[in-house]
A = this chain, B = another copy of it.
Amino acid sequence: MKLNVFFLLLLILNIGYANEDSTFVKKIYNEALVKGEAYNNLRVLCKDIGARLTGSAEAAMAIEWAENLLESYAFDNVYLQEIKVPHWERGTKEAGWIINAEQKISKLDMLALGGSVGTGGLIEGEVIKVESIEELNQLSDQEVDGKIVFFNRPFDQKMINMFKAYGACVDQRWAGTSEASKKNAKAVVIRSLASNTDGHPHTGSMHYEDGVIQIPGAAISPNDADDLVEWLTKGKVTLRMEMDCKTFADVTSYNVIAEFKGSEDDKIITIGAHLDSWDVGEGAHDDGAGVVQCIEAFRILKKLGYRPNHTLRCVLFMNEENGNFGGKSYAEIAVENSEEHICAIETDRGGFLPMGFDVVGSDEQLEFIREITGDLKPYDLLKFNHGYGGVDIGPLRQYFPTMIQLGLNVNSQAYFDFHHSAADVFETVHQRELALGAAAMGAMLYLMDRNL
């Protein structure tokens, strides 16, 4: 009998605790949707600063903007974390021309891949099309020698998650140039990694393997790629291209960090996004949206008077796009400082409708996440599965292998229409969807802090 009363009491307390959570989560959503500041913050970042590639003057301005904004919200501690980052510039010349079998010349929109060398003036070569690195490697060196290799594999439209479709194509951009160089190609162009046909090129990072001759790599739009494919069926096609992009010496830059001090311990829960972007468009979805969502999540918890158990950290990483030295350095400094990281949550998939969180952790940790997120169901956060956390928080896990990492999972259908292109501008972000993502980050941060 006594035992029953005890359990009854426990049950009531438990329900009380759960009700408290659902009430608080509701408050987070109300604030984000009714008095949200994320959308206007994103407008400022996109319109008053714009594209902000690591090492650029704009990146430095974005750091200044972020630090000022975080300080205006009066968090417990706002500081810059110094890091070394690469510095690559697109330059001012960037153009391509196709001469088809009938000697017709067409101009192409072309974007150098990030990290590419320039062409050193106008270069020209016959185009040879391959659908994959494997197909390239089946060609003889003679077949490739002096040619411009065109990697053409498009997204697999059968895939439901566009990040998976991207993942199945990205080797062409990342490694294609090195592989083509090994066979003495003159340059590489790739079909842009886009979810659908469109008329603009999408850039992104590439790398040179040690020891290969560094040849230029560029992206052309999906529409131009389609034209090129058709012309190739009719005979020899020559590509002319000129790019004066260049890598400079590494420079000093910063991750921007704000903290909420824990009331119980110094264990750290990080939420993060990346402040840098590619140098075209405005980095609105990638990852301006994530930046303002993290700031908003922090702002809301503070405004609601939340007193965290653990130390919460909002980290706006530098250099996700071309090197990830922000993420790597953050993890290394965490180890140097003997910090204890128990969780990290990243938002870097665009400001689209949130659908849940990807979980990096054991089966038990996934089960735990599912148990504590029942209060998120009314907000249509229904997907909690094993998956990917994010590029920036990724390096933490090698030092803190039992920590949970979470990646905000959003509607992925339109992300690669904009990704790394001139189309990634503020106007393509929906105010409510952005706010729902900010609320999801805030609510998840709250639930992790309460339950870890």
Q: A353 near B: Cβ within 8 Å?
A: yes
Residues on B with C-beta less than 8 A from A433 are 413-414
- With contacts A196-B432, A353-B353, A436-B413 taken as known, whether A158 is within 8 angstroms of B34 at the C-beta atoms is yes
Contact of A411 among B162, B195, B353, B431 (CB under 8 A): B353
With both beta carbons as reference points, the residue of chain B lying nearest to A439 in the complex is identified as B160
15 new A-B contacts at CB < 8 Å, known A160-B378, A355-B380? A29-B158, A29-B160, A30-B158, A33-B157, A33-B158, A34-B157, A34-B158, A160-B379, A196-B431, A196-B432, A382-B383, A411-B411, A413-B430, A413-B433, A413-B436
Task: List CB contacts (< 8 Å) of A163-196 with chain B.
Answer: 195-196
- A382 to B409 Cα, complex, angstroms: 14
In this complex, how many residues of chain A approach chain B with their Cβ under 8 Å: the count is 26
What residues of B have a CB within 8 angstroms of the CB of A158 in the complex? Answer: 29-30, 33-34
A-B contact pairs, 11 of them (CB 8 A): A160-B379, A160-B380, A196-B431, A196-B432, A353-B411, A353-B413, A382-B383, A413-B432, A414-B430, A414-B433, A417-B430
Cβ contacts under 8 Å, A414 to chain B: 430, 432-433
Q: In the docked arrangement, what's the CA distance between A382 and B376, Å?
A: 14
Neighbouring B residues of A353 by C-beta, 8 Å: 353, 411, 413
Interface string of A410-440 (1 = CB under 8 A from B): 0101100100000000000011110010000
- Which residues of chain A from 11 to 64 have any CB-CB distance to chain B below 8 Å in the complex? 29-30, 33-34
In the bound complex, CA of A353 to CA of B382 (Å): 14
9 nearest CB pairs, A to B: A382-B382, A33-B157, A413-B432, A34-B157, A30-B158, A353-B411, A413-B433, A414-B430, A160-B379
Q: State in angstroms the CA–CA spacing of A160 and B431 once bound together.
A: 13
Least CB distance, A395 to chain B, in whole angstroms: 30
Complex CA distance for A378 and B164, rounded to whole angstroms = 13
Shortest CB–CB separation between residue A38 and chain B, in angstroms? 13
Please report the C-alpha to C-alpha distance between residue A431 and residue B413 in the assembled complex, in whole angstroms: 9
How far apart sit A77 and B157, CA to CA, in the bound complex (Å)? 32
Q: In this complex, what residue of B is CB-closest to A431?
A: B196
A375-403 vs B: 1/0 string, CB under 8 Å? 00011101100000000000000000000
B-side contacts of A34, CB under 8 Å: 157-158
CB distance from A383 to the nearest CB of B (A): 7
- Report chain B residues within 8 Å CB of A379: 160
A311-337 to B contact mask, C-beta < 8 Å, 1/0: 000000000000000000000000000
Per the bound structure, the CA–CA distance linking A158 and B355 in Å amounts to: 18
A445 to B217, CA, bound (A): 47
Instruction: Write out the residue numbers on chain B whose beta carbons fall within 8 Å of the beta carbon of A355.
Output: 380
Residues on the B chain within 8 Å of A378, using CB: 160
Output the nearest chain B residue to A353 by Cβ-Cβ distance. B411
CB nearest neighbor in B for A34: B157
